[in-house]
Chain A
């Protein structure tokens, strides 16, 4: 059953991509319901995963046969295991609500079809990433998420802030992606396979390998960039420029969690070493604490949430770094917890933004009256974020504390940092509840542009359902046992029975929780004094640290590139040609004069003297001379035509009929074009000085001479058997064609031809664009620059 079901995976992922790619067509039909229609696709995936889930066996993940194998051992194969199912369910489930939410939120935006196109591709790539079995496929999906998230973050492309944020995120995550590619290639070379299923089945591990350190560092860079870990965390708050549904999706279940997924995925291969533990705990610890701390200094609701996301990601990285059964279990559960509350909170922020027109928490106040459902859902999500019972967040936090307490070495570092970060989370949650729903810094209820009752159900569904599922799962966490257990098995290669419950008895973790809450309440009371300190700290970090450095590095790079381009791309066609010819000329001369090279004319049987060929060459040469010295343009063009036809005749003499015909036709078209243009051009104008003509003459004669020498030399290379025999023998047997040239074109070497027709298309499009710009410019008046 499950082996059959896994074959549906490529179909589902393909369907997501297809749904995205067909948006330009479907948005005309679906109109305003586009978001609703598209949401059916992730819903379908979610429901199928939900149905499949109980069928899982404890060992052996079914793998689809690979397809689209472009390079050997690099193909698209997918696997269905516990880990990918947990991530897949969150991606599809939250994706469903995000699409519903977008259907209303994006209604006022231009270019909606672009938005849905990017979002669906992003969703498809994310799904592909978690289900990929081939590491190269995983990398490809990883990169697609980077590119599509760039498009999504920069969706409001007329704002420069948004473009900058998008570029920043692309550069950082793209850099991480490159590192990941290196890591994957090294791993693949070391293990001899790119397939996860084979690596996991054979118990392969890089731990003892010489390349371990390098691979680990590369993976670490990939993860820190993607998951916004310190010191690359700064792109994530910038990504707030995206429309809210995107932020909600990026932060909760996708994008930044791809790094977490990667860590869990490679844990059996790379994990459980001192390096892994130390560096992940260190990175995650700093990120967790700084993320939480920085969130205290923000006023924008979305930015507050963004920094808490960074903190949550840090928590997950620490847990994976500790790398015990207990901690991986906590990490997986915390991923679910975080996705549920963060997705809901971002959607809440969007609803508040839509209703009041602002996201500034210092302005907002008493939202409960106009937005009762949203407020209730937001309250539940904030309780979950604070880690208080009876929400799932409480169980998650208890597990985290247990995991940290259990491991003696790390508990002294990780636990205080964790308590610190959670204390801030508690304080932030209380602050937000107070600011948004009770009375904030502002007095009186914020005036609402829209009330909740004016919104359609699908706009409210996401926040409500995600918050309520956090509550239900908190009350009956047992339903997650199997899910977390399976995921655990695939990240650690060993199964652990998982029993989640809300009451663990009175233990150390509970004490830690109580301390956290008390500290959080204290911090909340003194928040007005802490905030200025944090704000100045953030300013110091921004100035002294990476964001500024990064921005200046990018701008310097751009200016160097611009000046270089200006120097190289001067726009004079004749100088391009001169550069090209002279460089090749010099290279060939160096080769001829160097000791190893040189020209040789050994005895060899040349083709017998043929009168027709010599006559043809003679006529062509005459025509060339005529063209060079002719005074009239038309006659010069005709002379050039004679040269062209002469070459075509030469082809014919030597039996290349296809090429000859082509040459004739093209020569004709060229002549027609030339004549057409020449008729319309003004009379002769002298555009070149005698000096430049002499220079051009010398260069062309020299180049022609050298090419002749090269050709004479090439003829001397003796191939054992001409290639043509190979094609001649196989053309009819394998490809049913007697015209070898054509068979080579369409069957033996079609990739060359694809390249050629692409170039042809591009040049035709280039000509088209060039002429159309000129037409516009002419109508605008001479001298006006066209941008």
Chain B
């Protein structure tokens, strides 16, 4: 599929989708969204990019393998859950840190955020892994 316009759009689309996925991921705590949806959106971006540019370009873009990405996600998730056990609390207890930015904006950062980020990476990695495998077998591009 050689189509200059489509190729340009795919690149632009990918950036847009990734940004969008991060926004969805972050807003997930108060509005619809979160790690699962964010990860899926990011995967969709990569998939369309891959359909147009081919698997190799996606692989080069992601740098780490999908297996590594999923592993990192799982590790983040499990770390987020087990931190509390080492701090003497029950496992999977959320630990929150509060910050106040610019004297007005309250920011809560905590282990659930790390956990959600883990979900994000596992989901992105899993979809990418499946799609990349399928595309490689089909000798896509």
Contacts and interface: CB of A to CB of B under 8 A. Distances in A.
Interface of A: 65, 67-70, 657-658, 661-662, 665-666, 668-669, 672-673, 676-677, 680, 734-739, 741-743, 745-747, 750-751, 753-754, 757-758, 760-761, 763-765, 767-768, 770-772, 774-775
A662 B36 contact: yes
A329 to B, nearest CB: 40
Contacts of B43: 669
Nearest to B127: A669
Contacts of B37: 658, 661-662, 665
Given A676-B135, A767-B129, A68 B32 contact: no
Residue of B43, B73, B113, B130 with most partner-chain A CB within 10 A: B130
29 contacts: A67-B85, A70-B85, A658-B36, A665-B40, A665-B44, A669-B40, A669-B44, A669-B47, A669-B131, A672-B47, A735-B94, A736-B96, A738-B29, A739-B33, A739-B34, A742-B33, A743-B112, A746-B112, A746-B113, A746-B115, A747-B94, A750-B92, A750-B112, A761-B70, A761-B71, A761-B126, A764-B130, A765-B67, A771-B136
A174 to B, nearest CB: 26
Contact of A757 (B118, B130, B140): B118
Contacts of A751: 81, 92
B138 interface: yes
B22 interface: no
A747 B116 CA distance: 9
Interface residues of B, number: 57
B116 A746 contact: yes
Contacts of B10: none
Contact of A746 (B35, B47, B134): B35
B94 A764 contact: no
Contacts of A738: 29-31
A669 B41 CA distance: 10
B11 interface: no
B134 A771 contact: yes
Contacts of B140: 676
Contacts, number: 151
A142 B36 CA distance: 39
B30 A760 contact: no
B44 A668 contact: yes
Nearest to B117: A746
B132 to A, nearest CB: 8
A757 B119 contact: yes
B105 to A, nearest CB: 13
Contacts of A761: 70-71, 73-74, 122, 125-126
Contact of B32 (A661, A736, A747): A661
Among A658, A665, A677, A746, chain B packs the most CB atoms within 10 A around the CB of A746
B122 A757 contact: yes
B24 to A, nearest CB: 8
B133 A69 contact: no
Contact of A767 (B33, B80, B116, B133): B133
A775 B108 CA distance: 48
Contacts of A760: 70, 122-123, 126
Given A666-B40, A669-B127, A751-B92, 6 more contacts: A658-B32, A669-B44, A746-B115, A750-B112, A761-B122, A764-B125
Interface in B76-108: 77-78, 80-81, 85-86, 88, 90-92, 94, 96, 108
A676 B135 CA distance: 8
A775 B136 contact: yes
Contact of B70 (A736, A746, A765): A765
A554 B93 CA distance: 44
A765 B88 CA distance: 34
A671 to B, nearest CB: 11
Contacts of A765: 67, 70, 129
Interface string B58-78: 000000001100110110011
A345 to B, nearest CB: 42
Given A658-B37, A673-B134, A768-B133, A735 B112 contact: yes
Contacts of A757: 73-74, 77, 118-119, 122-123
